[in-house]
Amino acid sequence: MSKIGFIGLGIMGKPMVKNLLKAGIETTVYDINTIAVTELVKQGAKKADSPKEAAVNKDAVITMVPNAAIVKNILEGENGILAGASEGTVIVDMSSVSPVASQEFARLAAEKSCPFLDSPVSGGEPGAVDGTLAFMIGGEEKNVEKIKDVFEAMGKSITIVGPNGSGSVAKLANQIMVNLNIAAVSEALVLAQKAGADPKKVFEAVRGGLAGSTVLDAKAPMMYSRNFKPGGTLAINLKDITNVMDTAKSLDVPLILTSALQQIMLSLKADGHIMDDHSGIVQFYEKISGVTVKTEE
């Protein structure tokens, strides 16, 4: 059984650690949020006072933090992960960052003879809680196999996409598809509402056909129930879409729809909705259409 250090105990990280503990995997946790640390220690986790301490004598160290700057900060320095990790400790970044950042982290890890996996996830908070996350991994298969029990404790899909950076590319592609799907659902339900149809009934009518999707099932009910409590905030998704656009620019790839989506998200940020769930994209369309998507039931 693997011994794990886990850094980052937010909306995603905390339930992921709970599933590691349920699987009997020894897990040492670190976060600046001491309340989250205390809660997990009560459930059997061990406490570390620094990223360095979280990495000592571990088979792997997982990072699940908001952005690349934080990942780099907790990797480097006298109290960083790489200062505590032994040769061969697998560093697994499950944060959503750019492929360029992932490749940089892989180089930093290699300098300490530590394998690196970029392994962003899909499934949001529900997937983290249920242990049904999908892992998109960039790195070598042998390093995934070393800690396969860890992945299996937290998710149901483990896909090695290619070399370092490939996992992050897959995540960017995922975020394009998810968020544009949410925008499409938003447009459709705003149209339905404006035309006098109950959006819940429209959802029920179309979900069994070709328009049906995991995104539709998860997000349409949140829209017509006016529940924008975040499983994945607009802030996090705007960060991801910004990474998408930066990566696309570096590759000279025009992304017409995603570019418009970024502007929609920036508008929602300006209107104070940035900490809403990304189903809150519907609020942009509601504002410009003068209608509120809401079921009569």
Question: Strand pairing of 46-47 and 26-30?
Answer: parallel
Cα 262 to Cα 77: distance, rounded to the nearest angstrom: 34
Cα 228 to Cα 230: distance, rounded to the nearest angstrom: 6
**Buried b / exposed e across 51-74, counting CB within 10 Å, b at 16+?**
bbbbbbebbbbbbbbebbeebbeb
Closest CA to 94 of 205, 182, 19, 179: 19
Read out DSSP for 199-247? HHHHHHHHTTSTT--HHHHHHHHHHHTT----SSBHHHHHHHHHHHHHH
Mutual angle of helices 214-224 and 166-194, in 10-degree steps: 50
Q: Is 171 a catalytic residue?
A: yes
SS3 97: coil
Annotated catalytic residue, options 14, 112, 171, 239: 171
Task: Tell me the sheet residues that pair with 93.
Answer: 63, 118
For residue 234, what are the contacts with CB-CB under 8 A and spacing of at least 6? 265, 268, 269, 273, 274, 275, 276, 277, 278, 280, 281
Structure tokens at 152: 């299996």
- Looking at the chain, which runs of residues are DSSP E strands? 3-7, 26-30, 46-47, 60-63, 90-93, 116-118, 121-122, 133-138, 155-162
What letter would DSSP give residue 160? E
Closest CA to 66 of 131, 123, 12: 12
Tell me which residues are annotated as active site: 171
